[in-house]
Amino acid sequence: MDRTITNETERFRIRFDDLIRDESERYPSSRYVHYNLQHQQFWIAKDDQDQLVLVNQFDQYPISELLGRKPMGLALQVEKGLRLVGGQRMKAEEYIALWRTAPVLTTDQARARGIQLVMTADRVLDKALAAAQSEAETALIQSYGPFEASDSGLVEFKVDLSHFEGHVLMNMLRFAWGESGRSAPVTRIVLSPPAGKPVEAPQVPMQVDWTQELEALV
């Protein structure tokens, strides 16, 4: 994960539950997506060069990244002065508190700010098609073609996660990757620079249970 940011100026939390809808007949694999969208957030930090850096990725809890496991969490980096916040050092607990109050954006609000989350993945096409459970899912995969496979037989998918179908496709691709006998999927999030007038985030309840998260890590 890219943690090269040295002077953090802003923080955003993007939630996906606004994308949830009942498409279980058309997209059978969406039943696995609903739970993830309800509980998943991406946290993004912005530096003084207007670069956006992802704090967490798929299946990673942001609080784990703050407290650190590999080998030093972001909060400890801030306390040691390896990562500045507005040009200043601060205590780890003060830095964590900033994330508690960071704006929570829906996918629409994130796009209005110019923040677009895209999964880029190389997958074996026949494995991805085999993971489809309906004609609609097969058509969803094929809509990203025509594919030009590399010598290794891999094709590239760039999936916009600002749409429900993007999460369905991501779910199928990751399942196909797991069945291919290779290691866990390697995904990359591409963040476009902010553009246009920002949309103010509404005041919504914090979706991370900090007490349970902290207790689980002690």
Residues 12 and 87 both lie in one domain:
yes
Instruction: Quote the CA–CA distance of 62 and 73 in Å, as a whole number.
Output: 10
User: What was the pLDDT predicted at 202?
Assistant: 38
User: What was the pLDDT predicted at 88?
Assistant: 92
User: What was the pLDDT predicted at 90?
Assistant: 93
**Backbone CA torsion sign across 37, 5, 68, 170:** positive
Residue 155 lies in a domain: yes
Residues 138 and 98 both lie in one domain:
no
Q: Show the domain range for 44.
A: 7-112
Cβ distance 78 to 89 under 8 Å?
A: yes
Residues 103 and 12 both lie in one domain:
yes
Residues 17 and 105 both lie in one domain:
yes
Instruction: Quote the CA–CA distance of 6 and 47 in Å, as a whole number.
Output: 7
Q: Which tokens is 165 given?
A: 């179908």
What are the per-10-residue average pLDDT scores of the chain (218 residues)? 70 88 87 79 86 77 76 86 92 92 90 81 81 90 82 79 87 72 50 46 43 44
Residues 128 and 47 both lie in one domain:
no
* Whether pTM exceeds 0.75: no
Residues 108 and 122 both lie in one domain:
no
User: What was the pLDDT predicted at 97?
Assistant: 92
pLDDT digits (tens, 9 = 90+) for 35-64: 778 778 888 888 888 888 888 876 677 788
User: What was the pLDDT predicted at 73?
Assistant: 86
User: What was the pLDDT predicted at 86?
Assistant: 92
Residues 135 and 96 both lie in one domain:
no
SS3 39: helix
What total number of domains does the chain contain? Answer: 2
First-to-last C-alpha distance (Å) of the chain: 23
pLDDT digits (tens, 9 = 90+) for 113-132: 888 888 777 777 888 888 88
Residue 203 lies in a domain: no
User: What was the pLDDT predicted at 199?
Assistant: 39
